[in-house]
Structure 1
Amino acid sequence: MKGKNGKALANARAAAGSLNGQSLGNALRTTAESWTPALNGMHDRATASAASLRKSAEGNDVTPVHERDMAGGPARDPHPELRPQRSGSPFG
């Protein structure tokens, strides 16, 4: 994300430079300057959120039940009461 943001801002600055002295050039320069802190902040927040998600995931055991139970015998359903009950009907 940071690379693409930087490239977009650099392109805006380059375009502003080629239009130096014109109102559009000044507007492009102002836009690039005002967006730089916003895009950098967004990148920093996304990086921090990703780190928080990784840390949270590391604290949870996400191994499926059937894989945990393989060493101790056949897999057990930890919540059989949540499974739909089958009737004799082929329609459920």
Structure 2
Amino acid sequence: MAFVWLKFAVCTIIIFFSGKRVAKYGDVIAEKTGLGGLWIGVILVAIATSLPEIFTGVGSTLFVNAPDLTIGNLFGANTYNLLNIAALDFLH
């Protein structure tokens, strides 16, 4: 059980420092490209939130040999995101 908590602590530290670096380099990218910091932040958050679907898709295709899971995951995630946006737009 102690090993699980140790792994959790290590992952927490890695995420903390990685988040700081992403924020720092996001500002650098915004300055060099001339785009706003908000725009770069949106792009970085979109990439970060899409990574689980990407890894799930690659894993299901390569390791389980089930490309149908990849297609279902991508369509399901995109449909869910679009429905959330539509619901929030309707509430606004």
TM-score tier after normalising by the smaller chain length: 0.3 to 0.5
Structure 2 length normalisation: TM-score? 0.34
- In the superposition, the TM-score normalised over structure 1's length comes to 0.34
* Larger RCO (CA under 8 A, 6+ residues apart): 1
Higher relative helix content:
2
